[in-house]
């Protein structure tokens, strides 16, 4: 390796700083210091120097946005804290209900204390792709998609190419931030035209374009597309001395991160409503896709008090503007089928452009909805996109009804298997009662293969239906017999040897997927992701769970009698028992999801609540540790709570714990408490590299 002149090293550092400052002025401050041509000239110069001295290329170099890395897969990453969804509001009344709910919870959490004072931080809601970005000592380390909210995909190679996202922050901090990647509207229109000119299919809307770009395996593709990004959340804000959402925005900008320019601070929900009215007419003038606004309680200390549901935080809400509407003609009504046999009427429409995409079909939900609308074939109908996403028929222009209008046909037999249909007494839905219905089976297979279930890539709804229609799959176990018919599959139109081999390999791999995934994939009434996780933490496999009584199941926190009975009934059904036996003979052996060390752990029977910030450690990591050792972590503090673990900048929960007589522990006191039982302490593998847990094992 040749010696590098000190002057070259110094000049490269100067170029880094200069280009980074120009990028910050352009993207964050909206105050360009140089022209695009001058910036590009400096960047080319840096590229040339780095080609001569490749050992000087650093991860935070501006040249690393050009792309070049190719990934064949996207590793899964568990989020340090869940990336939850938001509850939606569509009216002034729902916004006032939100404020009333927030005020009530805060009042109930601090009885006898003065009413908590709070205001709101309002942000225009960008319709893009939510991601989490981590910096280590101020240098970009990782970018992860939202995924299912708990686990996302590592797409760092593409996220790092976004021009507005700095690879090096203005301060050398360890921080995780979250934001929204989007396709600027003006750039999207130009980009789509270039695709059409090249004979390629254009994207339906900017959000699809952003999502499709971020999941490209070749980062040069992402680098060539004009993606942009706004950051809006600091994970663990207390660790950075932040106590308001407004302060978070200022801190993000100080670090050199781009934030949403369409923000405001409001003292009351009435002021929020006035602001939203003023924004509504101007949203089409913005160059980023907006479908509403996000209203957040500004005081971060109150977020913890307000807590969250399984899906959404209570401290914030998304307001959606009235959807764009248009008229078109109803050509026909077809009937889709669910995995449970429910038939859903689907409107077949004369193609029409709505909210950036071409709409040809829209759900009609059920027969009652058709009757309520007074719908007839060939009617002119009013079409909207609910939340600017899902197309739906919302009305009929009966004055425009023509002589050729005819009643919507209601089938007597299942269009997928020909069996007689039954009508549910309560819902009035049509239901196929043939448990061997091809349509039901195809939907069951597609459901099992979905990302939130067994995640069998390449086995979507279209392929599931094809396998059923062609007779390859006549029951769920047949899915795991497809390897025996590999040669026949390859002969099918549209199937190639490579794709068939990949599909069969993925099907084989899911035989040992986690017990949690298998529980969700079976579609047992009442068992979603959270219920499956809870069951899998208590029962290692199907045999153990099948012997659980309704009384035993209903004793589980969050499980009621109806849900417990539903689970017990499923496992006592002979057909379901036969299904599980057949799957077992085919090699299906779910991996136990039970947390090692949970049973008989040193914290068994003890409940914990966490508050404040823990340097070098997220609350989720601490929660994993406590749970692995038998403890139960909740968000609500009460007199029955055993311990409150208080980190730095602990808020109202610390005051409340003292008043309730709950024992308060610092992280250090938690370590001391385990002194006599260190040989029983379980540290999950994912936490072994964290200094806090190393200290526990080394503690004397």
Active site residues per annotation: 125
636 and 105 Cβ atoms separated by less than 8 Å: no
Buried b (16+ CB within 10 A) or exposed e, 310-327: eeebbbbbbbbbebeeee
Nearest-CA neighbor of 393 among 410, 377, 414, 416? 377
Nearest-CA neighbor of 644 among 655, 654, 629, 652? 654
Q: What is the DSSP letter of 590?
A: P
Q: Residues 17, 19, 24, CA angle at the centre, nearest 5°? A: 90
Rounded to an integer, what is the distance from CA 224 to the centroid of its chain? 26
H or E element, residue 620: helix 619-628
Integer Rg of the chain from CA: 28
- Cβ neighbours of residue 696 under 8 Å, at least 6 residues apart? 671, 674, 678, 681, 683
d(C-alpha 167, C-alpha 66), whole Å:
12
Could you give the 3-state DSSP secondary structure of residue 134? strand
User: Which two three-digit tokens encode residue 601?
Assistant: 């752990």
122 and 163 Cβ atoms separated by less than 8 Å: no
Q: What is the DSSP letter of 687?
A: G
Measure Cα distances from 244 to 101, 170, 596, 658 in Å: 20, 21, 38, 25
Which residue do the tokens 């109202």 mark? 652
The torsion angle over the Cα atoms of residues 287, 293, 298 and 302, rounded to 10 degrees, is -140
H or E element, residue 176: strand 175-182
H or E element, residue 297: strand 290-297
Burial of 14 (0-12, 13-18, 19+ CB in 10 A): exposed
Q: Residues 520, 521, 525, CA angle at the centre, nearest 5°? A: 60
**Whats the size of the chain, residue-wise?**
700
- Cβ neighbours of residue 539 under 8 Å, at least 6 residues apart? 515, 545, 548, 594
d(C-alpha 131, C-alpha 165), whole Å:
12
d(C-alpha 654, C-alpha 35), whole Å:
53
- Cβ neighbours of residue 697 under 8 Å, at least 6 residues apart? 678, 681, 683
d(C-alpha 593, C-alpha 656), whole Å:
35
């Amino acid at each position: 390796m040749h010696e590098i002149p000190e002057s070259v090293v110094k000049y490269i550092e100067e170029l880094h700083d200069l280009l980074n400052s120009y990028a910050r002025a352009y993207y964050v401050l909206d105050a360009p210091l140089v022209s695009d041509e001058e910036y590009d000239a400096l960047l080319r110069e840096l590229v040339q120097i780095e080609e001569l001295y490749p050992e000087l290329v650093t991860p935070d170099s501006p040249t690393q946005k050009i792309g070049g890395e190719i990934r064949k897969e996207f590793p899964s990453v568990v989020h340090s804290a869940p990336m939850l969804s938001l509850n939606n509001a569509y009216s002034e009344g729902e916004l006032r209900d939100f404020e009333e709910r927030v005020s009530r919870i805060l009042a109930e959490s601090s009885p006898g204390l003065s009413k908590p004072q709070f205001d709101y931080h309002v942000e225009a809601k960008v319709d893009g792709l939510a991601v989490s970005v981590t910096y280590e000592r101020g240098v970009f380390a990782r970018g992860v998609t939202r995924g299912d909210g708990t686990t996302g995909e590592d797409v760092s190679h593409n996220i790092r190419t976004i021009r507005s996202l700095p690879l090096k922050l203005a301060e050398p901090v360890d921080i995780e931030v979250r934001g929204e990647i989007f396709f600027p509207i003006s750039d999207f229109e130009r980009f789509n035209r270039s695709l059409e000119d090249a004979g390629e299919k254009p994207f339906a809307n900017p959000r699809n374009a952003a999502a499709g770009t971020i999941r490209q395996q070749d980062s040069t593709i992402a680098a060539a597309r004009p993606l942009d990004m706004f950051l809006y959340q600091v994970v663990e804000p207390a660790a950075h001395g932040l106590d308001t959402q407004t302060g978070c925005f200022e801190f993000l900008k100080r670090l050199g991160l781009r934030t949403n320019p369409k923000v405001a601070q409001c003292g009351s929900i009435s002021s929020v409503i006035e602001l939203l009215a003023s924004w509504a007419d101007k949203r089409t003038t913005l160059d980023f896709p907006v479908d509403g606004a996000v209203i957040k309680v500004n005081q971060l200390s109150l977020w913890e008090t307000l807590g969250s549901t399984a899906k959404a935080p209570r401290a914030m809400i998304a307001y959606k503007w009235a959807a764009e509407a248009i008229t078109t003609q109803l050509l026909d009504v077809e009937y889709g089928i669910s995995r449970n046999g429910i038939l859903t009427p689907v409107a077949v429409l004369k193609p029409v452009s709505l909210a950036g995409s071409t709409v040809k079909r829209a759900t009609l939900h059920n027969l009652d909805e058709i009757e309520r609308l007074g719908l007839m074939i060939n009617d002119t109908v009013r079409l909207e996109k609910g939340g600017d996403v899902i197309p739906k028929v919302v009305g009929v222009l009966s004055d425009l009804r023509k002589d050729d209008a005819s009643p919507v046909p209601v089938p007597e037999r299942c269009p997928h298997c020909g069996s007689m249909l039954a009508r549910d007494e309560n819902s009035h839905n049509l239901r196929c009662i043939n448990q061997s219905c091809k349509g039901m089976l195809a939907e069951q297979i597609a459901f099992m293969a979905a990302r939130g279930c067994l995640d069998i890539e390449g086995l979507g709804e279209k392929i599931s239906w094809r396998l059923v229609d062609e007779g390859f799959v006549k029951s769920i176990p047949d899915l795991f017999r497809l390897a025996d018919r590999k040669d026949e599959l390859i002969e099918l139109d549209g199937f190639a040897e490579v794709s068939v081999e990949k599909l069969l390999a993925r099907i084989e791999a899911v035989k040992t997927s986690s017990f949690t995934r298998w529980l969700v994939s079976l579609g047992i009434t009442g068992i979603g992701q959270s219920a499956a996780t809870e069951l899998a933490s208590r029962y290692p496999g199907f045999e153990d769970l099948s012997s659980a009584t309704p009384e035993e199941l209903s004793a589980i926190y969050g499980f009621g009698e109806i849900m417990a009975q539903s689970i017990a009934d499923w496992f006592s059904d002979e057909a379901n028992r036969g299904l599980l036996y057949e799957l077992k003979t085919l090699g299906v052996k779910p991996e136990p999801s039970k947390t090692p060390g949970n049973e008989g752990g040193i914290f068994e029977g003890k409940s914990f609540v966490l508050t404040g910030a823990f340097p070098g450690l997220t609350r989720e990591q601490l929660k994993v540790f406590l749970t692995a050792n038998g403890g139960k972590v909740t968000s609500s503090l009460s007199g029955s709570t055993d311990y409150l673990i208080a980190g730095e900048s602990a808020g109202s929960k610390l005051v409340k714990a003292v008043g309730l007589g709950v024992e308060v522990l610092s992280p250090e006191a938690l370590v001391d408490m385990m002194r006599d039982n260190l040989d029983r302490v379980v540290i999950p593998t994912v936490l072994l590299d964290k200094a806090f847990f190393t200290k526990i094992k080394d503690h004397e």
